[in-house]
């Protein structure tokens, strides 16, 4: 009987337990930081210092349960629904720029019903775009030796870029571009140097046009280039972020002892939560968290590289790239290594949609790790 059970386990495989543990570890640290960073903001605006933490905790619990459920669903089944999911996600993105869209903090990027239920369709599009492109490429392997085989994925990406442009959501656009490109390159596309340079030039021109289209983006560029000027306006958030990180020293002020979270650093529980981490836990704490993220990304790409199934390899690479670019840009922004842009830190920044989708994406990764040693299609 025991032998039969072992044979079943061996044939079905087991998920990457290390990836599961590091995901839960990052999530738990993130929840602790949300509890600390959001306490004063929640007390002032909601009358309860634990209000935002409890909301985040609920999303985390539901997300972990969903992650475990998804980790048991064969990722190959997504092929059947990939295109439909892409169409639905695109429609949701389009609805954002209609009267159905919800504006928060000056940005119209949400859908929902009142204050109790709101979500960002761009977060849903991240894994959906990866799965849709991976589905097309895996079904058209023979076409991948020519550029013609990448026309459909390019059209998918252009549709998403247009919809994100209408939302004026540059950071989200960046994540989706990186996700799509990572899937395409993982497929083994062979490009000449001049083709790569042409692509970089086109992307650069689009990015420049996107920046020039809005005055506030130009202001962010000028503020970044002149960090010691305009400290009361354009550079306020960046300056407060550096004050927080710098005052943390080696070991930090102590958990819960941040001073910048007392509304000196606006929305400290969101995109700048890493600054509060640096202030409270110091260089040691931030180094540990960054080390965990680096190991997390390494594990994700390792799953993609070792997966014998082409489809699974593409999805794992795309989803891992989503986490990687978000982590890199977020840390770069809070350390003033690049202009300020809204980029959440995975598993840390407050936001129910982002956290839930991240955990769902991890469920897919864990299922791929479980089946990565199966025969390649």
Q: What is the pLDDT of residues 69-102, one digit of tens each?
A: 999 999 999 999 999 999 999 999 999 988 888 8
Gap between the Cα atoms of 169 and 161, Å rounded: 9
Mean pLDDT of 323-341: 91
Asked if residue 80 is part of any domain, the answer here is: yes
What pLDDT does residue 10 have? Answer: 44
pLDDT for residue 340 is more than 90: no
Give a yes or no: residue 195 inside a domain: yes
Query: Does residue 4 surpass a pLDDT of 50?
Result: no
- Is residue 4 in a domain? no
**Total count of domains within the chain:** 1
360 contact partners, CB below 8 Å, separation of at least 6 = 63, 66, 67, 70, 127
Question: The sheet that has 107-113: what strands, in order across it?
Answer: 102-104, 107-113, 117-119
User: What pLDDT sits at residue 257?
Assistant: 94
Q: Is residue 200 part of a domain?
A: yes
Quote the pLDDT of residue 224. 63
Count of CB atoms situated within 10 Å of the CB of 213: 12
Determine which of 7-16, 177-186, 202-211 has the lowest per-residue pLDDT on average: 7-16
CA distance 220 to 202: 22
Task: Give yes or no for residue 344 having a pLDDT over 90.
Answer: yes
What tens digit of pLDDT does each residue of 277-312 get?
999 999 999 999 999 999 999 999 999 999 999 999
Q: Measured in Å, how far apart are the chain's first and last C-alpha atoms?
A: 32
Looking at residues 128-135, what average pLDDT do you find? Answer: 97
- Tell me the C-alpha distance between 78 and 37, whole Å: 37
State which residues form the domain around 142: 9-371
Percent of the chain with pLDDT over 90: 62
> Rounded to whole angstroms, how far apart are CA atoms 48 and 185?
48
Inside any domain, residue 1: no
Determine, yes or no, domain membership for 376: no
């Amino acid at each position: 009987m025991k032998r039969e059970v072992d044979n079943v386990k061996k044939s079905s495989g087991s998920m990457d337990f290390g990836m599961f543990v590091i995901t839960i570890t990052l999530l738990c640290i993130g929840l602790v930081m949300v509890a600390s960073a959001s306490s004063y903001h929640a007390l002032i605006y909601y009358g309860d210092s634990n209000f935002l933490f409890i909301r985040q905790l609920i999303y985390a619990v539901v997300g972990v349960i969903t992650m475990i459920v998804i980790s048991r669903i064969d990722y190959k089944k997504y092929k059947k629904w990939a295109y439909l999911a892409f169409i639905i996600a695109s429609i949701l993105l389009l609805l954002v720029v209609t009267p159905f869209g919800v504006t928060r903090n000056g940005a119209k990027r949400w859908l929902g019903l009142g204050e109790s239920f709101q979500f960002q369709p761009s977060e849903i599009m991240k894994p959906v775009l990866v799965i849709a492109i991976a589905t097309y490429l895996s079904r058209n392997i023979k076409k991948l030796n020519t550029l013609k085989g990448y026309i459909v994925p390019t059209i998918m990406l252009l549709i998403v870029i247009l919809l994100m442009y209408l939302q004026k959501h540059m950071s989200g656009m960046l994540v989706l571009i990186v996700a799509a490109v990572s899937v395409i390159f993982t497929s083994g596309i062979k490009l000449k140097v001049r083709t790569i340079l042409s692509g970089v030039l086109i992307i650069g021109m689009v990015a420049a046009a996107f920046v020039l289209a809005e005055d506030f983006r130009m202001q962010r560029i000028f503020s970044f280039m002149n960090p010691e000027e305009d400290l009361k306006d354009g550079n306020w958030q960046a300056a407060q972020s550096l004050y927080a990180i710098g005052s943390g020293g080696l070991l930090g002020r102590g958990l819960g002892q941040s001073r910048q979270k007392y509304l000196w650093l606006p929305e400290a529980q969101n995109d700048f939560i890493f600054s509060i981490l640096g202030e409270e836990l110091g260089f040691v704490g931030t180094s540990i968290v960054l080390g965990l993220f680096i190991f997390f990304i390494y594990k994700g790409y390792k799953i993609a590289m070792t997966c014998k199934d082409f489809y699974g390899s593409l999805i794992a690479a795309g989803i891992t790239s989503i986490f990687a670019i978000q982590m890199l840009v977020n840390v770069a922004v809070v350390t003033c290594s690049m202009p300020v842009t809204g980029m959440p830190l995975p598993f840390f920044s407050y936001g129910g949609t982002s956290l839930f989708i991240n955990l769902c994406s991890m469920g897919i990764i864990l299922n791929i790790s479980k089946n990565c040693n199966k025969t390649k299609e």
